[in-house]
Amino acid sequence: MSGNTSNSCIEALEPSNRFLVSAVVYGLVLAVGLPLNTVSLWILLRSHGLRSSCAVLMVNLAASDMLLALSLPLRVYFYATLQWPFGVGTCTAAIMLFRINIRTSCIFITLISVDRLVALVFPLRSRSLRTTACACKCCAVVWVLIILLCIPEIIRLHNSLRECTYNTPCFEFQVLPKSSPISAFAVGQAIFLLILLVVNIVSTVVVIVALRKRPSTGAAKVNNKMNVILIFAVNMLVFMIFFLPFTLQLLKTQDKEGTFLRAFICLASVNCCLDPLIYYFSLDSFWQDKGKRQTDKGTYSLSRTTERFQVAGNS
């Protein structure tokens, strides 16, 4: 272990209301988020597949949320019992699954906003860019980069946890820097999340301005402006409520015991329960079966053809 850091290894955790609240919150997120994201992922793959850039991004966001949900039972057990009998490796994996979800969710939500923005503002020029292949490559790059960047963190966390010989504090564990009040990694992560927040804010403003300039009738009509606005509203809500407090807390030095940071991490986990709203407002007829959508389109086309014949006969 480097001499520049000290570990928060403790012999025993005393029961407190904070641990009880954490267990309840993580339990509720698990009970709501796991089935919601499981159903959402099933619907995305079954009804929409990977036939559009937006669908590809949402499948990856749902998969990221599934990783978070799968790590929550261990958090619920730890905060309910204040014991960790599963070993250092399992603890490291559970912590990193959570951190990977926070990072990938921020990126995928931002990519969804950018994709919707480009589709609205540059519908023709963006066709060659907004392809399934391009979206798959972007998602693959995101996963590979995030995992590669997490490898040093995984090694450092695993080695530090191994020094806690008596009791593994797991989710209450933290590495405290001695030399500097804020680690360079925490600053870099906070700056990155703030940049993503700025991108979402700019995208939201540009979309609102573009929708106001669009005529309400004619070929350029936006069929469902409310759904478009709600996509960006949900994205902004996720960032402002769940990610921004966590990001700002990374830049503070007063919280030496990490109490507020752990509370904001608990709050950030709730984001996986809101992500299905993004799928609902982003994809037309999200909860409708593909065959039903094709039948509706066929019926609509037939009715339009009949109307044309009737108009031609009357004239």
pLDDT in tens, 41-65: 888 888 777 888 888 998 999 899 8
Q: Is the pLDDT reported for residue 182 higher than 70?
A: no
What are the C-alpha distances in Å from 70 to residues 38, 76, 101, 251, 290? 11, 11, 11, 29, 29
**Residue 206 domain-assigned?**
yes
The chain-wide mean pLDDT, for the chain, equals 76
Please report whether residue 82 resides in a domain. Answer: yes
pLDDT at 127: 81
Q: How many domains does the chain have?
A: 1
- Tell me, yes or no, whether 172 lies in a domain: yes
Is the pLDDT at 140 greater than 90? The verdict is: yes
Backbone φ and ψ of 221, nearest 5°: -65, 135
Tell me the average pLDDT across 268-284: 76
pLDDT digits (tens, 9 = 90+) for 200-229: 889 888 888 887 776 655 434 455 667 777
- 314 part of a folded domain: no
Q: Is the pLDDT of residue 257 over 60?
A: no
φ, ψ for residue 103 (rounded to 5)?
-70, -45
Q: Is residue 185 part of a domain?
A: yes
Which domain does 71 fall in, by range? 5-284
CA dist 14 → 17, 27, 55, 84, 275 (Å): 10, 20, 46, 14, 35
**CATH label of the domain that carries residue 244:** 1.20.1070.10
Domain annotation covers residue 301: no
Model confidence pTM above 0.75: yes
Q: Considering the domain boundaries, does residue 296 fall inside one?
A: no
Average pLDDT over every residue of 238-245: 85
Do 78 and 167 touch, CB atoms closer than 8 A? no
Classify residue 278: in a domain, yes or no. Answer: yes
